[in-house]
C-alpha cells in the first residue's frame, strides 16, 4: 500500500468518524432544527475541531514519513488524486446546492423570511466534510480500478 | 467504437533480466512498486515519460514494452 493510499484511508477514518459523531449528536440532542442549543453547538464545533486537528496531524505525519523513509508519490497517485478531487468537487457542490434548496423550501413553507445565522456556516462545514470524505472514498475506489494517466 | 487497449510485457521483461524485482524496476524508473503492480495487471496506462523510463531501464524500445491494441 502506497503512502497516498494510507493517507486516503486515514482521511476516510477521520471524516467517517466525524459524520458518525454528528449522527450520534443529532440523535442524542434532537434534530438539526434545535441548533441554537448551546451544548449541541459546542459539541458540534469540538467534533469539527478534532477532525481538523486529525487532518493536520495526518498531513504532517505523511510529510515526516516521506522524508524519513524516502517513500514517494508518483504520477499514478497524482492522476488518482486529480480524478478523486473532481468527483469530490462535483459531489460537494451538489450537496451544498441541495441543502440550500431544502433550507429555502422548508422556511418558505413555514412562512418565514429569515433563517438562523448558523445555517450558512453549517452548510459550508457539511460541504467541506463532503468534499474530503468523497475525495478519500473516490481515491480508494480508483486505486482498485483501471486508471489512465491522461 | 471498440476501446483501444495498451498492453505491456513488463513482467516478461523483468524475468528475462534475471528476475528483476518490482521494487528494483520502480526505483530505477522513478515510480512506486504499486504502480508497477498496476501496470503489470493492466490497471494503469502510464504517461509517455514513464513509459520511456521503463523502456530505457530494460534497454529496449518503447514498442517492445508497450503494445497498442484496437
- How confident is residue A133, by pLDDT bands cut at 50, 70 and 90? very high
Cell of B50: 514513464
pLDDT digits (tens, 9 = 90+) for A7-65: 899 999 999 999 998 888 877 766 655 656 677 778 888 889 999 999 999 989 888 88
pLDDT score, position A72: 77
Tell me, what's the pLDDT at A147? 77
- Using one digit for the tens of pLDDT, what is the confidence trace for A53-63? 999 999 898 88
Residue A124 pLDDT level (bands cut at 50, 70, 90): very high
Model confidence band, residue A141 (pLDDT cutoffs 50, 70, 90) = very high
Local confidence band at A115 (pLDDT 50, 70, 90 cut-offs):
confident
Low-confidence winner among A110-119, A123-132, B50-59 (lowest mean pLDDT): A110-119
* pLDDT of A144: 83
Is some CB atom of chain B closer than 8 A to the CB atom of A72?
yes
Percent of chain A clearing pLDDT 90 (strictly above): 43
Chain A neighbors of B42, CB-CB under 8 A: 146
Across A61-65, A67-71, A134-138, the highest mean pLDDT is recorded for A134-138
- Domain architecture of chain B: domains with CATH: 5-58 (1.10.260.40)
Predicted local distance difference test score (pLDDT) of residue A80: 92
Alpha-carbon radius of gyration of chain A: 18
> Does B44 contact A146 at a Cβ distance shorter than 8 Å?
yes
Chain B residue with Cα closest to A73 = B32
The DSSP element (H or E) to which A134 belongs, if any, is: helix A118-143
Q: What is the pLDDT of residue A14?
A: 92
For residue A85, the model assigns a pLDDT of: 94
> Predicted confidence band at A91 (pLDDT cuts at 50, 70, 90)?
very high
The answer to whether the CB of A66 falls within 8 A of the CB of A2 is no
Does the distance separating the beta carbons of A148 and B34 come in below 8 Å?
no
Question: How confident is residue A131, by pLDDT bands cut at 50, 70 and 90?
Answer: very high
User: What is the distance in angstroms between the Cα of A82 and the nearest Cα belonging to chain B?
Assistant: 15
Query: How close B46 comes to chain A (CA, Å)?
Result: 5
In order, the DSSP letters of chain B are -PPPEEEE-HHHHHHHTT---HHHHHHHHTS-HHHHHHHHTT-EE--HHHHHHHHHHHTS-HHHHEEEE-
In this complex, the residue of B34, B46, B49 whose CB is nearest that of residue A2 is B34
Amino acid at each position: 500500500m502506497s503512502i497516498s493510499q494510507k493517507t486516503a484511508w486515514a482521511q476516510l477514518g477521520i471524516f467517517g468518524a466525524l459524520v458518525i459523531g454528528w449522527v450520534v449528536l443529532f440523535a442524542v440532542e434532537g434534530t438539526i432544527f434545535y441548533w441554537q442549543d448551546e451544548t449541541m453547538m459546542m459539541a458540534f464545533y469540538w467534533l469539527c475541531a478534532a477532525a481538523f486537528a486529525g487532518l493536520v496531524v495526518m498531513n504532517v505525519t505523511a510529510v515526516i514519513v516521506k522524508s524519513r523513509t524516502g517513500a514517494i508519490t508518483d504520477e499514478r497517485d497524482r492522476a488518482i488524486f486529480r480524478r478523486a478531487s473532481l468527483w469530490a468537487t462535483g459531489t460537494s457542490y451538489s450537496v451544498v446546492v441541495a441543502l440550500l434548496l431544502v433550507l429555502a423550501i422548508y422556511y418558505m413553507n413555514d412562512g418565514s423570511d429569515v433563517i438562523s445565522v448558523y445555517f450558512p456556516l453549517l452548510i459550508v462545514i457539511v460541504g467541506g466534510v463532503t468534499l474530503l470524505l468523497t475525495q478519500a472514498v473516490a481515491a480508494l475506489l480508483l486505486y482498485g480500478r483501471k486508471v489512465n494517466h491522461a | 467504437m471498440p476501446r483501444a487497449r495498451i498492453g505491456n510485457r513488463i513482467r516478461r521483461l523483468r524475468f528475462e533480466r534475471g528476475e528483476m524485482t518490482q521494487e528494483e524496476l520502480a526505483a530505477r524508473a522513478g515510480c512506486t512498486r504499486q504502480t508497477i503492480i498496476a501496470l503489470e495487471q493492466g490497471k494503469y496506462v502510464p504517461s509517455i515519460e514513464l513509459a520511456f523510463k521503463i523502456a530505457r531501464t530494460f534497454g529496449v524500445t518503447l514498442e517492445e514494452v508497450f503494445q497498442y491494441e484496437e
